[in-house]
Amino acid sequence: MKKSETKSSKVKRRGWRKYLPYLILVVAVMIAYSNTLNTGFHFDDETSILKNSQIRSFADFDDLNDWTNIHNRPLAYFTFAINYSLHGLKPTGYHLFNLILHLLSCMLVYSLANKLLKLKSNTLADKNRTYIALGIALLFALHPLQTMAATYVSQRITILVALFYIMSIWFYLQARLDHMKNGIHNRNLLFYGAAVISAFLALLSKQNAATLPLMWWFIDFFFIRRENGKKDVKFLSILGGLILLALISVLLFGLLPKETESISRLQYLITQFRVYLLYLGLVIFPFNLNIDHGINISQNLLGLQETSGLILILLLIAVAIWLYKKQPLISFGIAWFFITISIESSIIPISDPMMEHRMYLPMFGISLVLINLIYLLFRKHLTRFAMVLGLVLVLLGIRTYNRNADWENNTTIWLSSLEENPNNKRALVYIGRTYVTTDLDRAMKYFERAIAVDSSYYHGWLNRGMVFYNKRQFGKAAENFTRAVDIPGREHDYIFYLRGVSYLQLEKYHRALNDLNKYILKVSNDVEAFIYRGQVNYALKKYRQSGEDFLRAVQLDPSRKQIYLNLVEIYYRLKDVQKMKQYIQIAQQNKLKVPKPYLNFVKDK
C-alpha cells in the first residue's frame, strides 16, 4: 500500500513539475512588465488606435476583401477593435492584451525549444533540457529589446505574427515527425492543417510571415530524418523547388514590395549591414535603446560600419555552416535569426531602416545560440551554469523594468530618445508636439531645433507652421506650410487643408480654393473642409458652388445646424425664394434665430 502511494506521489510531482517552467515565465514577465499597465499610448498609436475609425465597430471587418489584403494587417486591427469594444480608449486593457500575447509567445518558445533540444541533444537529461529550454524562453521574455514590441501597443502586430509564426513551426514539426514515424494519417494531417492555419493567421498579422515556408524547409533540413537517419531528400527538393519558383516569380513579375520610393534597394541593403551590427550590439549591451535610432541611409560600402557589418554577416553564416553537424541548434539559431529578419532588413526599402521591435521574432534564434553557448561553457558545472544564467536574466529583467519606465507616456519615451541622440529630429518634433496644447513657445523651440538639424525635414516645417496657425499668425503659417510642401516625396493632403485655411484668413481666396480643392479631392468626408471651401466660394461670389459645399457639410454632419443659416444667405444672394423658404423653415425647426431681413425679403415676395 505504501509503495503504491509513493509511486502515485512521484507521478503527481512529475506532473506538477511539467507546468513549473510556465509558471516561472508568468511570474518573470509579470514582474518585468508590472509597470506597463498604466502607461499611455505612443507614436503610431495615434493613427492606429486613437484616430482610427475602423476599430470603433466590428461592422468594418465584415468585408471579406479586407481580410484577404495582408497589407492591411486585418487580424491585428481586429484585436484593437476587441479592445475598443471592451474599454474604449483606456490604454490599460490594450497593454494587458499585449502582455498576455507576449506571455503566450514565451510559452510557445519554451515548448518549441524543448522539442528541438530533444531532437538534437539525446544525451541531455530531462532536467538539463528543461533548464536550457527555460533559459531560452526567459531570455526571449526578458531581453530589453523586446520592450518595444510588448509595451508599445501598435506593435502588437509584431507579437501576433511571432505568436502564430512559432505556433506554425511547432505544428509543422509535430506533423513531420509523426509523418516520418507513421506515414500519412489523420493525426499528422490535422497537424499540417494547423500549421497552415497558423501561418495564415501570422500573415494576416504582418507580412514578414511570408518567410514561413522557408523556415519549414530549414526545420526539415535540420531536424527531420527517416528511420535510416537520412534526410527526406525528395520532400526537401519539392518544397525547396516550390519556394524557389515563388521567389523567382516575385522577382520576375515585379511583385517585390517597396514601402518608400525615396530609398533604392541597394542603398537599403548597404544600410542594413550597419543596422545588423547595431542590432547585435544591442543584444549584448542593451543600454542605448531608442524608439527612433535616426539611421541615415548609407550610399556605399566604404564606411567602417557598413564593411564591418557585412564581414560580421558573412562570418555568422560561415559559423552556421561550420557548426551544422557539431552544434546544430546553434547553427539553426543563426539561420532563424537571418530568415526571420530578412523581410525588413534586406532589399525591401522601409522609411525607418531600424526599429527595435523587428528583433522580437529573431530573438528566438539569438536565444537558442546564446543559451546553448553558455551551457557549452558550463556543461560540466551545472550549478555554475544555473548561477551565471540566473544572474544574466536578473540583470536583463531589471533593465527591462527600467526601460519600460521610459514608456510611461509620449514625453518620457521621446525624452529618453533625445538623451541618446540630442540631434534626433523626430524626437525633437514629438517632444514639441507634447507642448502644443500647453506652451506654444516651448513647442516652437523644439520644432526650430529639428529644422536646424535638417532643413529639409518635412515634419519640422509642418509643426512649426501649425504653431503659427494656432497663434493666428497665418502669413507665417502659410510660409512654413509652403516650405513643407516643397519637400519632394511626401503626401501633402492635410497640409493643403491647413494652408488653404491660412490663405482664407489672409483673404487670398484663389490660393485658398486651390489648396482646399486638392485636399477634398483626397479626403471627401471632412466637414470642416467643405465649410471652409464654402466660405471661400462665397467670398469669390461663387454662390452656387458655396451652397453645394455647405449642403455637403450638413449632410456629413447634421448636427452642424448653423449651416442652415449659411444656406439661407446663399439662396438670398441667388434670389431663389423657394430655397430660402425651405431653409428658413428648417432653421426655425432647429430653433435657430433667422435674421429679420431674410424673413422680410421672403414675406415681400
Mean predicted lDDT score pLDDT of the chain: 91
Q: Write out the three cell numbers for 484.
A: 513643407
Q: Which amino acid does the sequence have at 373?
A: L
Q: What is the DSSP string of 42-77?
A: -TTHIIIIIT-GGGG-GGGG--HHHHH-GGG-HHHH
Alpha-carbon dihedral angle through residues 86, 89, 95, 100, given to the nearest 10 degrees:
20
Structure confidence at residue 15 (pLDDT): 64
Asked whether residue 118 carries a pLDDT value surpassing 60, the answer given is: yes
Average pLDDT over residues 65-85: 88
Neighbour count for residue 7 (Cβ, 10 Å): 10
Instruction: Report the C-alpha gap between 533 and 543 in whole angstroms.
Output: 11
Domain limits for position 589: 561-605
Residue 357 lies in a domain: yes
The more confident residue out of 501 and 487 is 501
**Which of 356, 373, 406 represents a domain boundary (last residue)?**
406
Taking CA atoms, 62 is separated from 50, 68, 74, 501, in Å, by 21, 12, 11, 37
What pLDDT, in 10s, does the model give residues 21-31?
999 999 999 99
| pTM for the structure as a whole | 0.88
Average pLDDT over residues 360-378: 95
3-state class (DSSP) for residue 88 = coil
The percent of residues in the chain predicted with pLDDT above 90, rounded, is 71
Residue 602 lies in a domain: yes
Of 280, 285, 294, nearest in space to 369 by CA: 280
Asked whether residue 11 carries a pLDDT value surpassing 90, the answer given is: no
Average pLDDT over residues 528-539: 95
Average pLDDT over residues 327-356: 95
Residue 347 lies in a domain: yes
Q: Which long-range contacts (CB under 8 A, 24 or more apart) does 591-594 make?
A: 592/561, 592/562, 592/564, 592/565, 594/565, 594/568
Average pLDDT over residues 346-353: 93
Residue 449 lies in a domain: no
Give the end-to-end CA distance of the chain in Å, rounded to a whole number.
111
Window from 87-91, 340-344, 492-496 with minimum mean pLDDT: 492-496
Instruction: Report the C-alpha gap between 384 and 362 in whole angstroms.
Output: 27
The more confident residue out of 26 and 525 is 26
Neighbour count for residue 268 (Cβ, 10 Å): 22
Average pLDDT over residues 549-559: 91
Structure confidence at residue 1 (pLDDT): 45
Instruction: Report the C-alpha gap between 433 and 439 in whole angstroms.
Output: 10
**Which of 406, 434, 451 represents a domain boundary (last residue)?**
406
Instruction: Report the C-alpha gap between 143 and 335 in whole angstroms.
Output: 20
Instruction: Report the C-alpha gap between 368 and 439 in whole angstroms.
Output: 49
385 in Cβ contact with 379 (< 8 Å): yes
Asked whether residue 93 carries a pLDDT value surpassing 90, the answer given is: yes
Q: Which amino acid does the sequence have at 580?
A: M
427 in Cβ contact with 454 (< 8 Å): no
Residue 494 lies in a domain: no
What pLDDT, in 10s, does the model give residues 404-426?
999 999 889 999 999 999 999 99
Asked whether residue 7 carries a pLDDT value surpassing 70, the answer given is: no
**CA 223, chain centre distance (Å):** 32
Taking CA atoms, 76 is separated from 101, 161, 308, 349, in Å, by 12, 9, 37, 22
Going by the DSSP 8-state scheme, the letter that residue 292 receives in this structure is: -
Residue 443 lies in a domain: no
What pLDDT, in 10s, does the model give residues 575-603?
888 888 888 888 888 888 988 888 888 77
569 in Cβ contact with 563 (< 8 Å): no
Query: For 301-454, where are the E strands, in sequence order?
Result: none
What pLDDT, in 10s, does the model give residues 438-476?
999 999 999 999 999 999 999 999 999 999 999 999 999
φ/ψ region of 368 (left if φ > 0, alpha if ψ in -120 to 50, else beta) reads alpha
207 in Cβ contact with 220 (< 8 Å): no
Residue 129 lies in a domain: yes
Structure confidence at residue 470 (pLDDT): 93
Residue 530 lies in a domain: no
Q: Write out the three cell numbers for 29.
A: 514577465
278 in Cβ contact with 408 (< 8 Å): no
Taking CA atoms, 60 is separated from 54, 63, 504, in Å, by 6, 7, 36
Instruction: Report the C-alpha gap between 22 and 499 in whole angstroms.
Output: 56
Of 360, 470, 330, nearest in space to 140 by CA: 360
Structure confidence at residue 604 (pLDDT): 67
φ/ψ region of 472 (left if φ > 0, alpha if ψ in -120 to 50, else beta) reads left
**Which of 406, 428, 443 represents a domain boundary (last residue)?**
406
Tally of structural domains, the chain: 2
Window from 11-20, 114-123, 254-263 with minimum mean pLDDT: 11-20
Residue indicated by cell numbers 461670389: 541
Taking CA atoms, 139 is separated from 136, 374, 531, 550, in Å, by 5, 12, 56, 60
The percent of residues in the chain predicted with pLDDT above 70, rounded, is 97
What pLDDT, in 10s, does the model give residues 204-213?
999 999 999 9
What sign for the dihedral angle of Cα 566, 499, 432, 439?
Answer: negative
Q: Phi/psi of residue 257, each to 5°? A: -75, 165
Asked whether residue 378 carries a pLDDT value surpassing 60, the answer given is: yes
